[in-house]
Amino acid sequence: MSFEAFLIVSAILFCIGLYGSLARRNVLAVLMSIELMFNGVNVTLVAISKYLAPAALHDDISSVLTGQVFAVFIITVAAAEIALGLGIVFAMYRTNETVDLTEATELKH
Amino acid sequence: MDCVLAPDNILHDTLLFRVIYEWVGQLLPCGLSYAVAGIAIMLLLVNGVLLGAGGFSWLERRLIGRFQNRVGPNRWGPFGALQPMADLFKLLFKEDLVPRGADRIVFTIVPVAMMAPVVLMMAVVPFAKDTALANLNVGVLYVLAVTSITSIAIFMAGWASDNRYALFGASRGVAVLISYEVPVVMSLLGVVLVAGSMALDDIVSAQTVPFLLVQPMAFFVFLAGTSAELNRTPFDLAEAESEIIAGYHIEYSGVKFALIQATEFGAVLTSSAVMVTLFLSGWSGPFSDYLGWAWFLLKIGVLAFIFSWVRATFPRLRIDQLLAFAWKFLLPLSIINLFATALEVYFLRNDAGMLTTNDLWLMAGINFGVAFACLLTFGTLIQDKVRPAKSLTAASLSSPEVG
Amino acid sequence: MLFQDIVFWILSVMAVGAALGVVLVPDLFRAALLLAVVFVAVAGFFILLSAEFLAVVQVLIYVGAIAILIIFAVMLTRDVKHGNLPNRLQIPAVVFATLLLATLVTVAVDTEWNFLPAEQQERVDLVQTGAVTTLTGDLLTESGVAVEDQPEVQKAGLADLLIGDFVLPFEAVSVLLLAALIGALALVRPSPGSRRG
Burial A56-88 (b: 16+ CB within 10 A, else e): ebeebbbbbbbbbbbbbbbbbebbbbbbbbbbe
* Residue C169, in any domain of the structure: yes
Q: Which of the pair, B35 or B261, is modelled with greater confidence? A: B261
B140: closest CA among B220, B219, B211, B195?
Answer: B195
* Residue C107, in any domain of the structure: no
Of C64, C68, C131, the CB nearest to B145: C64
Q: Are residues C141 and C175 in the same domain?
A: no
- Check contact A-C (3+ Cβ pairs < 8 Å): yes
Domain boundaries, chain B: 115-252+264-385
What are the structural domains of chain A?
3-108 (1.10.287.3510)
Which residue of A8, A9, A41, A70 to mutate against C (max C Cβ within 10 Å)? A9
Q: Are residues C69 and C132 in the same domain?
A: no
Of A13, A61, A84, the CB nearest to C145: A61
pLDDT at C41: 93
Q: Are residues C61 and C130 in the same domain?
A: no
CA gap A78, C154 in Å, rounded: 31
Asked if the Cβ–Cβ distance from A49 to C61 is below 8 Å, we say no
- Whether chain A has a CB inside 8 Å of the CB on C134: the answer is no
Chain C: give the shortest CA distance to residue A56, in Å.
11
Flag whether pLDDT at B196 surpasses 70. yes
**Would residue C50 be called left, alpha or beta, if left means φ above 0 and alpha means ψ between -120 and 50 degrees?**
left
Contact residues, chain C to chain B, C-beta under 8 Å: 2-3, 27, 29-30, 33, 36, 52-53, 56-57, 59-60, 63-65, 67-68, 71-72, 75, 122, 125, 129-131
pLDDT at B100: 82
- Per-residue pLDDT 10s for chain A (109 aa) are 688 888 999 999 999 999 988 888 888 888 889 999 999 999 999 888 888 766 666 666 667 778 888 888 999 999 898 888 888 888 888 777 777 777 777 777 6
Contacts with C, A 56-95, CB within 8 Å: 57-58, 60-62, 64-66, 68-69, 71-73, 75-84, 86-91, 93-94
C189 DSSP 8-state letter = S
Reported ipTM? 0.88
Asked if the Cβ–Cβ distance from B138 to C130 is below 8 Å, we say yes
Chain C residues whose CB is inside 8 A of the B181 CB are 64
pLDDT at C152: 40
Chain C: give the shortest CA distance to residue B126, in Å.
19
Chain B residues whose CB is inside 8 A of the C72 CB are 171, 174
Q: pTM for the full model?
A: 0.84
pLDDT at A55: 66
Asked if the Cβ–Cβ distance from A36 to C8 is below 8 Å, we say no
Burial B138-150 (b: 16+ CB within 10 A, else e): bbbbbbbbbbbbb
Q: Which of B241-245, B258-262, C32-36, C150-154 has the lowest mean pLDDT?
A: C150-154
Q: Are residues C66 and C133 in the same domain?
A: no
> How high is the mean pLDDT of chain B?
80
pLDDT at C127: 66
CA gap A32, C27 in Å, rounded: 13
C128 is in which domain, residue-wise? 118-156
Flag whether pLDDT at B237 surpasses 90. no
> Which residue in C has a C-alpha nearest to residue B149's C-alpha?
C64
Neighbour subunits, A (≥3 Cβ pairs < 8 A): C
Q: Are residues C69 and C131 in the same domain?
A: no
Flag whether pLDDT at B194 surpasses 90. no
Asked if the Cβ–Cβ distance from C3 to B34 is below 8 Å, we say yes
CA gap B58, B342 in Å, rounded: 42
CA gap C63, B287 in Å, rounded: 42
* Residue C2, in any domain of the structure: yes
pLDDT at B401: 47
Task: Write the CB contacts of C117 (distance below 8 Å, at least 6 apart in sequence).
Answer: A53, C144
Q: Which amino acid is at B122?
A: M
B153: closest CA among C1, A14, C40?
Answer: C40
Contacts with A, C 156-195, CB within 8 Å: 156-158, 160-162, 165-166, 169, 173, 176-177, 179-181, 183-188
Chain B residues whose CB is inside 8 A of the C130 CB are 137-138
- Whether chain A has a CB inside 8 Å of the CB on C111: the answer is no
Q: Are residues C132 and C166 in the same domain?
A: no
Reported as half-sphere exposure (CB side, CA atoms, 13 A), residue C43 has a value of 20
> Which residue in C has a C-alpha nearest to residue A81's C-alpha?
C180
Chain C: give the shortest CA distance to residue B149, in Å.
6
Chain B residues whose CB is inside 8 A of the C63 CB are 145, 148-149, 152
Neighbour subunits, C (≥3 Cβ pairs < 8 A): A, B
Contacts with A, C 23-82, CB within 8 Å: 23, 28, 31-32, 35, 38-39, 42, 45-46, 48-51, 53-54, 57-58, 61-62, 65-66, 69-70, 72-74, 76-77, 79
Q: Are residues C122 and C164 in the same domain?
A: no
* Residue C140, in any domain of the structure: yes
Cα separations in angstroms, B293 against B42, B98, B157: 19, 42, 36
Q: Which of B10-19, B23-32, B315-324, C67-76 has the lowest mean pLDDT?
A: B10-19
- Check contact A-B (3+ Cβ pairs < 8 Å): no
**pLDDT single digits (tens) B73-109:** 877 778 777 888 888 888 888 887 888 877 888 888 8
Q: Which of the pair, B22 or C62, is modelled with greater confidence? A: C62
> How does strand C153-155 pair with strand C134-136?
antiparallel
- Whether chain C has a CB inside 8 Å of the CB on B2: the answer is no
Q: Which of the pair, B398 or C24, is modelled with greater confidence? A: C24
pLDDT at C15: 92
Q: Are residues C126 and C66 in the same domain?
A: no
Chain C residues whose CB is inside 8 A of the A81 CB are 180
Q: Are residues C173 and C152 in the same domain?
A: no
* Residue C135, in any domain of the structure: yes
pLDDT at B28: 75
B357 backbone dihedrals φ, ψ, rounded to 5°: -60, -40
- Number of domains present in the structure of chain C: 3
* Residue C146, in any domain of the structure: yes
* Residue C57, in any domain of the structure: yes
Q: Are residues C71 and C29 in the same domain?
A: yes
Residue ranges in chain C whose pLDDT is less than 50: 134-154, 197
Q: Which of the pair, B215 or B402, is modelled with greater confidence? A: B215
Which residue of A16, A37, A43, A63 to mutate against C (max C Cβ within 10 Å)? A16
* Residue C95, in any domain of the structure: no
Q: Are residues C16 and C53 in the same domain?
A: yes
Q: Are residues C130 and C179 in the same domain?
A: no
Q: Which of A47-61, B176-190, B265-279 has the lowest mean pLDDT?
A: A47-61
Q: Contact B316/B228 with Cβ under 8 angstroms? A: no
pLDDT at B249: 79
Give the pLDDT mean for B277-281: 86
Three-state DSSP string of chain B? CCCCCCCCCHHHHCHHHHHHHHHHCCCCCHHHHHHHHHHHHHHHHHHHHHHHHHHHHHHHHHHHHHHCCCCCCCCCCHHHCCHHHHHHHHHHCCCCCCCCCCCHHHHHHHHHHHHHHHHHHHCCCCCCCCCCCCCCCCHHHHHHHHHCHHHHHHHHHHHHCCCHHHHHHHHHHHHHHHHHHHHHHHHHHHHHHHHCCCCHHHHHHHCCCCHHHHCHHHHHHHHHHHHHHCCCHHHHHHHCHHHHCCHHHCCCCHHHHHHHHHHHHHHHHHHHHHHHHHHCCCCCCCCHHHHHHHHHHHHHHHHHHHHHHHHHHCCCCCHHHHHHHHHHHHHHHHHHHHHHHHHHHHHHCCCCCCCCHHHHHHHHHHHHHHHHHHHHHHHHHCHHHHCCCCCCCHHHHHCCCCC
Q: Estimate to the nearest angstrom the gap between the alpha carbon of B382 and the chain centroid.
A: 26
Q: Which amino acid is at C155?
A: K
